[in-house]
Structure 1
């Protein structure tokens, strides 16, 4: 399966997906840890994908989203952003509204 197909399947088959360095229980960079902290605070289940385990996935996700950095957060198949965007959305209540199915 092509890397882009694997990514598409992950983001469409799961409500919330985080492409990150490490896993939610043990993030391997501060930005990944920041996203995990926000998502854990919200309390919704999410899938963490460790890009360090697969160099093709690590580069492929950047091409898929046209976003150069990690982590990357997807909600219902849509790219939301990285750590700073997720933190800002959370602080403004926008992330909680998005996850509740409401428009902010």
Structure 2
């Protein structure tokens, strides 16, 4: 793991309000967890940047160290790590993900 990949990940997280590090792309997710994460974000109507970790091994390994979270996908909102698809689903079902995005000014308040 290089400092360069950490810097690149940090830049991606900083430059985008909502970032999903995932396997595949938003149009062609490569795993069920990434697909579920995309479905949640699309349903909420929030603009987000998808980063395909399968295209870059240093990002794939680096994101796990960056967040200290072992699995992918990983969601970041306004630079803060939110969680993986299970946490996203729990937050979504409880209305917490919508509230977080509304609080950050990324979707209209429900």
Asked if Structure 1 and Structure 2 have the same fold, meaning a TM-score greater than 0.5 normalized by the shorter chain, the answer is yes
Q: Distance in 2 between matches of 1:43 and 1:33?
A: 15
Q: CA RMSD in A?
A: 1.1
Q: TM-score, normalised by structure 1?
A: 0.95
Structure 2 counterpart of 1:101: 103
**Larger proportion of strand:** 1
Residues 4-15 of structure 1 correspond to what in structure 2 (within 5 A)? 4-15=6-17
How many residues align? The count is: 102
Structure 1 counterpart of 2:4: 2
Runs of at least 5 residues in structure 1 that lack an aligned partner in the other structure: none
Structure 2 counterpart of 1:26: 28
Q: Give the 4+ runs in structure 1 shifted more than 2 A.
A: none
Q: Distance in 1 between matches of 2:27 and 2:93?
A: 23
Runs of at least 5 residues in structure 2 that lack an aligned partner in the other structure: 105-110
Residues 1-104 of structure 1 correspond to what in structure 2 (within 5 A)? 2-101=4-103
